[in-house]
Structure 1
Amino acid sequence: MAGFVRLQDLLSRNDLLVEVLGRARDLGLPDWYLTAGCLVQTVWNVLTGRAAGDGIKDFDLFYFDRSDLSWAAEDRVIRAWRDFPAEVEVRNEARVHLWYEVKFGVPCLPFASSEAAIDAFPAVCSCLGVRLEPDGSWHFYAPHGLDDLFGLVVRPNPVLAPRDVFERKAARWKAQWPELTVLTSR
């Protein structure tokens, strides 16, 4: 529990991230999370003395709606962010299996939830999601815990992600945060 209190404190220092959380909550999306890079990078920025939002290129917003797998339905959610001052990458995780192989060269079985999609991120430290509940409380999902995140460790996730995806991401992160320790084995 103390780790999540610390995580909330660190993430709260990124004003855009907090704004995304509030706005996403108000959209009423099913099974939604703000995920991955924007969370990890905010934490690393604060822990290494940088501005909380430094270098964050986008905010990944996942939701899971099996009732409509059309691009048009997902695009309606994407368009809700057109006026936002930063890029918000919206994905209905119920439809990822429809395009994943074309983009990454390996098949992806359909996910059963947003949590299952987070479980498949390339690095253990990035298997992380947060959302604001209707009462304003923060809900976290971190299947591997927070040790790697707080310890500035990037380790491959044994679940799904293609190795080259991990290597590209780890190299990009290491260039931005030289303080990171990148592990090559799972």
Structure 2
Amino acid sequence: MLGRLAALDLPPWFLTAGSLFQTVWSVAAGREDLTAGIRDHDLFFFDEDTSWEAEDVVIKRCLAAVDGLGVELEPRNQARVHLWYPKEWGNEIAPYRDLADAISSFAATSCCVGLSLDSGGKLTVHCTHGFRDLFNLVLRPNPLTVAPQAVYDAKAERWMREWPQLTKLPWVEPSGRR
């Protein structure tokens, strides 16, 4: 998937979220099926053109590139999130400054990871809070999150059903990224 996406000459992008951290959890849990529990593969890209039309062009290119791989890819322009977030989640957020800012806003620290591959084969890894919580199967509220406690709790509940080895730490009100 990374190789196919790298060939597209996209705006800056990262594969992020569940497809990465849930794969790590499955390896740590000794699972044979590393895809179990993964709903989709989030592709964050950052394009200054915040029109829906521009985002839709990139989405369609990405989906065509991974066709036949048997994965559900969800490409989204992170420069547009502030435009739809209030309607979806009920509170306003400031625009993300870049991809690192967007990845850094997930509800749990172990989720704030991304991978990107350039057309020359160079892999870039972003991990906002380091790898300790991720590899130790710890769910820790992210101090930079834009998500409310209800999102953290709901996700943690689902993840802990799938990966009972996870340790959930109690919610701490985030300091906020804004």
TM-score surpassing 0.5?
A: yes
Deviation, structure 1 residue 55: 2.1
Matches within 5 A, 1:73-84: 73-80=54-61, 81-82=63-64, 83-84=67-68
Task: Please tell me whether the aligned partners of residues 139 and 169 of structure 2 are also in contact (alpha carbons under 8 angstroms).
Answer: yes
TM (normalized to structure 1)? Answer: 0.85
**Aligned twin of 1:117:** 102
Task: Please tell me whether the aligned partners of residues 137 and 167 of structure 2 are also in contact (alpha carbons under 8 angstroms).
Answer: yes
**Aligned mates of 2:5, 2:89 — CA distance in 1:** 27
**Aligned twin of 2:84:** 99
User: How many pairs does the alignment contain?
Assistant: 166
What's the secondary structure of 2:76's corresponding residue?
strand
Matches within 5 A, 1:1-186: 19=1, 21-50=2-31, 51-66=33-48, 68-80=49-61, 81-82=63-64, 83-84=67-68, 85-159=70-144, 160-186=146-172
- Could you say which structure has the greater relative contact order, defined with CA pairs below 8 angstroms and 6 or more residues apart? 2
Task: Please tell me whether the aligned partners of residues 153 and 182 of structure 1 are also in contact (alpha carbons under 8 angstroms).
Answer: yes
Structure richer in helix, relative to its length: 1
What's the secondary structure of 1:77's corresponding residue?
helix
Which runs of no fewer than 5 residues in structure 2 stay unpaired? 173-178
What's the secondary structure of 1:34's corresponding residue?
strand
What's the secondary structure of 2:7's corresponding residue?
helix
**Aligned twin of 2:175:** none
Alpha carbon RMSD of aligned pairs, Å?
A: 1.2
Deviations 1:12-46 (CA, angstroms, capped at 9, x unpaired): xxxxxxx2x11221121122000111100111111
Task: Please tell me whether the aligned partners of residues 32 and 64 of structure 1 are also in contact (alpha carbons under 8 angstroms).
Answer: yes
Deviation, structure 1 residue 110: 0.3
**Aligned mates of 1:64, 1:70 — CA distance in 2:** 12
What's the secondary structure of 1:27's corresponding residue?
coil
**Aligned mates of 2:14, 2:137 — CA distance in 1:** 22
Task: Please tell me whether the aligned partners of residues 31 and 113 of structure 1 are also in contact (alpha carbons under 8 angstroms).
Answer: no
Deviation, structure 1 residue 135: 2.2
What's the secondary structure of 1:173's corresponding residue?
helix
Deviation, structure 1 residue 176: 0.3
**Aligned mates of 2:155, 2:9 — CA distance in 1:** 31
After TM superposition, the runs of 4+ consecutive aligned structure 1 residues lying more than 2 A away are: 82-85
Deviations 1:133-179 (CA, angstroms, capped at 9, x unpaired): 22212110111000000000011111122111111111110010000
**Aligned mates of 1:36, 1:141 — CA distance in 2:** 11
The AA in structure 2 aligned to 1:75 is: D
Deviations 1:99-134 (CA, angstroms, capped at 9, x unpaired): 001001111110010110011111000001111122
Deviations 1:73-111 (CA, angstroms, capped at 9, x unpaired): 111122220534221111100010000010011111100
